[in-house]
Amino acid sequence: MCIGGSLVRLNKGSIIEKMKNQNIKTQTELAEKIDISKSQLSFMFSDEYEPLKKNVIKLADVLKVSPNDIILDEEDQMPINSDFNRYDYKLDEFIDVSNVRKNKDYNVFETFAGAGGLALGLESAGLSTYGAVEIDKNAAETLRINRPKWKVIENDIEFIADNLDEFIDEEIDILSGGYPCQTFSYAGKRNGFADTRGTLFYPYSKILSKLKPKAFIAENVRGLVNHDDGKTLEVMLKVFIKEGYEVYWNILNSWNYDVAQKRERIVIIGIREDLVKEQKYPFRFPLAQVYKPVLKDVLKDVPKSKVTAYSDKKREVMKLVPPGGCWVDLPEQIAKDYMGKSWYSGGGKRGMARRISWDEPCLTLTTSPSQKQTERCHPDETRPFSIREYARIQSFPDEWEFSGGVGAQYRQIGNAVPVNLAKYIGKSLVHYLNQFN
């Protein structure tokens, strides 16, 4: 279940009101009527976890309402710093780009390229990678192995920003990249370019200032929206606007774009002002696809590959967790022993002892497949997902190879932008740029 690209959250106030209407006095009574444990009901109400669709439907049936009556509206799920209303950005424009094709070649210079998820997706949309910057040696080698014709620049991004002419000798249409989310040191009240020194956003914005491409793509974790009380994003938007770009941004859920994973990213698009003045239509983000894949759609006939292993103790615990379940499905004493102090902190982290089911998308993949707080166990086998399963969930093609040891490969895949999400973002840009040719 998904609304406007954001994960579903239950409207607790509405549920309490509906409970009164049905003369249901306690959560224990409500859990019994839904036929789940009280712990599972608490799990559903947590803001850290999206409830299973079947449980939301059962809850709505018990309360004699539609599921939509007990789900938060999108604007209530995604609090935005009110200061953003002062800036020139667009948030809510979408268009179906499924059949978009380029009518001329557009090139891309990518920063923070990683294992190539964003670049590969943009390539699938019809864009050409002119250059890809990546300082991690394993990720850079991954790019070289798979795309030997790409200009892979294995160097420090700050050095590249200072010496850009040494690396680029033609006009660039699109700058792309996912710089890390870092707090800025606010210099007085400027809240602009100078404030970003010492962060990796600074060289990205410096490259943007020098290249002046037609458009740029900047992606980041969803948490950027409220990072440092929204100040971090606020500074970024102001810098982009001062550089002469109209800025569009949105939270996109990968699950809406042919990715079997609930992975939300903030995507910022900038369009150069001279193009905006001549445009026949504005930039729009890609419309969500009708069908949303689940694990069973993408993990068929996966090539064999390396996989990390659970410890014997962890394996015995995970054997007790059913598909779609987590620590709330464990016997209480086993759950307490496994979770340690987390058991006493409001019921523990909701990702602990989590086994994904075939009939749901995976939760966000992390850089390690067996972290205790963010468990992602295989639906049938008691083990983490393998390298190739990880890659499938991130929508990498099977022929895309990853360099380095097992840990390095998991890290590259976990850090990547899902390829199919990037493809739809690229198609939206192609659709916009096509109007000028």
* 303 and 265 both lie in a single domain: no
- 127/309 Cα distance (integer angstroms): 39
* 226 and 327 both lie in a single domain: no
Range(s) of the domain holding residue 426: 82-292+419-434
Distances (CA, A) of 24 to 14, 36, 70, 71: 13, 15, 16, 19
pLDDT range class, residue 345, cuts 50, 70, 90: low
- 234/80 Cα distance (integer angstroms): 11
Mean pLDDT of 96-115: 95
CA 140 to chain centre: 22
* 222 and 315 both lie in a single domain: no
Q: Provide the 8-state DSSP code for 360.
A: S
* 173 and 107 both lie in a single domain: yes
Question: Who wins on pLDDT, 229 or 238?
Answer: 238
Residues facing residue 175 across a β-bridge: 109, 216
* 88 and 51 both lie in a single domain: no
Last residue of a domain, one of 21, 44, 77: 77
* 55 and 26 both lie in a single domain: yes
Question: Who wins on pLDDT, 226 or 406?
Answer: 406
Last residue of a domain, one of 25, 43, 77: 77
* 351 and 427 both lie in a single domain: no
Question: Who wins on pLDDT, 345 or 67?
Answer: 67
Question: Who wins on pLDDT, 62 or 214?
Answer: 214
pLDDT computed for residue 349 by the predictor? 60
pLDDT computed for residue 399 by the predictor? 98
pLDDT in tens, 270-322: 999 999 999 999 999 999 999 999 999 999 999 999 999 999 999 999 999 99
CATH code (residue 106):
3.40.50.150
* 32 and 171 both lie in a single domain: no
In this structure, of 88-92, 111-115, 130-134, 215-219, the range with the lowest mean pLDDT score is 88-92
pLDDT computed for residue 18 by the predictor? 84
Mean pLDDT of 423-436: 97
pLDDT range class, residue 183, cuts 50, 70, 90: low
- 20/319 Cα distance (integer angstroms): 39
Start-to-end Cα distance in the chain: 39
* 231 and 371 both lie in a single domain: no
pLDDT range class, residue 358, cuts 50, 70, 90: very high
Sign of the torsion angle spanned by Cα atoms 18, 24, 28, 31:
negative
Q: Which two tokens stand for residue 408?
A: 């390095």
CATH code (residue 37):
1.10.260.40
Last residue of a domain, one of 31, 52, 77: 77
DSSP strand E in 254-329: where? 261-262, 264-272, 285-286
Distances (CA, A) of 354 to 312, 350, 399: 17, 8, 29
Question: Who wins on pLDDT, 234 or 268?
Answer: 268
Phi, psi (rounded to 5 degrees) for 97:
-115, 15
User: In the chain, how many domains are there?
Assistant: 3
Whether this model's pTM surpasses 0.85: no
Rg of the chain over Cα atoms, rounded to whole angstroms, equals 23
* 389 and 315 both lie in a single domain: yes
Average model confidence (pLDDT) across the chain? 86
Q: Which residues are catalytic?
A: 181
pLDDT computed for residue 36 by the predictor? 80
Q: Helices then strands (H, E): number in the chain?
A: 17, 14
* 202 and 117 both lie in a single domain: yes
pLDDT computed for residue 82 by the predictor? 39
* 195 and 277 both lie in a single domain: yes
The number of C-alpha atoms within 13 Å of 139 and in the hemisphere containing its C-beta is: 24
Q: Which two tokens stand for residue 153?
A: 């620049």
